[in-house]
Structure 1
Amino acid sequence: MRHASDTTRARTAAALLGLTGLVALSACADQGGEADASSAPPEVAQSASSPMAGGDTASPGTGGTPAFTAALKDAEGGDVGTVEFTEAEGAMELHVQATGMDPGFYGLHVHAIGQCEPDSAAPDNPDKTGAFLSAGGHLGGTETQHPEHAGDLPTLLVQESGDGHLTFHTDRFTAEDLDDEDGSALMIHSTPDNYANIPERYAPEGPDEDTTKTGDAGDRLACGVVEAAQG
């Protein structure tokens, strides 16, 4: 009888130990689940506000009020687009919007005179006439060679839709340069600007005078007089 009692007590103790272990494991599991939930990375917890999750995204540009604008028109007077000039810290921000154009790259410059006459003479050569020649050469074009002119700008890319959008900063000119006595104009050219980057294998003597003056950007396709923004 003594042996039977000992056996019963041993079995009871084993059962109690097993139950205690199950309770401990259950408690650990609950604590671990809470720790996992509370230690999620911030970017995961906040993903609903990220751009990938459809939240608001900042629009291009500084969001400031434009100081100048230019309405771009072709030689027939058709609307081509608009340009906004906004003063930024130590620079000028340009936001270009074009529409109804053929897809491709187009040269873009600020020209030295605020005139966009569709059939006009070049100020430095009255015998030469053509679209928007009254706007003169590039802003700062008499002071250095292309592409170091103050008016030399990045090339505009027009998409298959016919729309082109470009926003950038330049520190090459100021508000005073745009709004001097004879004003200024924004020009879209018919072909891309090569920025006088002519490989030596094509021109062992370097780019010629036309290239260092214009970047071979082609005809003047659209022009807009730079004017003080209204309001």
Structure 2
Amino acid sequence: MLHRTCLALIVALGAPAAGAGTVAAAQAISWTPRISQGSATAEAVIKNTDGKTIGSLRIEDEPAGKSTLTITVAGLRAGYHGFHVHAKGVCDPKAIDPVTRSPFSSAGAHFSISPTTHSGHSGDLPNLLVGADGTGEATVVTDRFRVGQLFDADGSSIVVHALPDNHSNIPDRYSHQGPPSGVGPDAETLKAGDSGGRVACGVITRNQ
């Protein structure tokens, strides 16, 4: 059965020249990855606070109500970084949060389709691991939003944070009674999972 399949491939692609052998025929085969046809896609160019491009993001609708995000970065501190889709498509490094002193406050809070609690943040994503050379890459599949939902009146953006998102794990500063401010998660945990300041941002744009 295997020989019959190989012969079918050689016939379909054209027989090799005399004496070339089946190895040459196999080398002539070029496999092209499947590209989804008709899927909505979006992209973002990710820049740091100096305006330097340090990465890119691609988002593509998938079947069954899911979306795939692929992020690539370079020039970041080694370790885990929280990265989230944020609610506004504005990346101004001079927009400083008056409380946290973090740049890119123009990007707003985490993107959310319905509830405003942290657990309802549709833009929450797994942490991005950056290697010792400052580069990182990840592919994430989510069912919490589709590409079209990112383009409301004020758009959306991708934000990379200085620290990892704790993803509802208990921060070190908490005691058995909760954070120093009292019982239950404090404002910093509820807002961004203790992922620290914003170090890079990219406006998400729709592909035509």
Same fold flag (TM > 0.5): yes
Structure 1 residues 171 and 165: CA distance shift in structure 2, 3 A = same
Counterpart selection for 1:176 from 117, 125, 148 = 148
Residue pairs, 1:52-201, within 5 angstroms:
63-64=35-36, 67-89=41-63, 90-120=65-95, 130-140=102-112, 143-198=115-170
Is residue 138–residue 151 contact of structure 1 (8 Å, CA) maintained in 2? yes
| SS of structure 2 residue aligned to 1:193 | coil
Quote the offset at 1:57 in angstroms.
9.8
Larger Rg belongs to: 1
Structure 1 residues 78 and 144: CA distance shift in structure 2, 3 A = same
Is residue 147–residue 195 contact of structure 1 (8 Å, CA) maintained in 2? no
Greater helix proportion: 1
Is residue 40–residue 148 contact of structure 2 (8 Å, CA) maintained in 1? no
CA distance in 2, matches of 1:57, 1:97: 24
Residue pairs, 1:30-69, within 5 angstroms:
63-64=35-36, 67-69=41-43
Is residue 183–residue 226 contact of structure 1 (8 Å, CA) maintained in 2? yes
Quote the offset at 1:148 in angstroms.
3.3
Which residue in the other structure is 1:209 paired with? 187
CA distance in 1, matches of 2:187, 2:114: 13
CA distance in 1, matches of 2:46, 2:77: 15
| TM-score (norm. length: structure 1) | 0.66
Which residue in the other structure is 2:207 paired with? 229
Partner deviation per Cα, 1:54-80 (whole Å, 9 max, x = no partner): xx9997xx7436610000000101111
Higher RCO (C-alpha under 8 Å, 6+ residues apart): 2
| SS of structure 2 residue aligned to 1:140 | coil
Give the number of aligned pairs. Answer: 171
CA distance in 1, matches of 2:168, 2:192: 8
CA distance in 1, matches of 2:132, 2:40: 28
Provide the aligned C-alpha RMSD in A.
2.8
Which residue in the other structure is 1:13 paired with? none
| Unmatched segments (≥5 aa) in structure 1 | 1-55
Structure 1 residues 212 and 128: CA distance shift in structure 2, 3 A = closer
Quote the offset at 1:161 in angstroms.
2.0
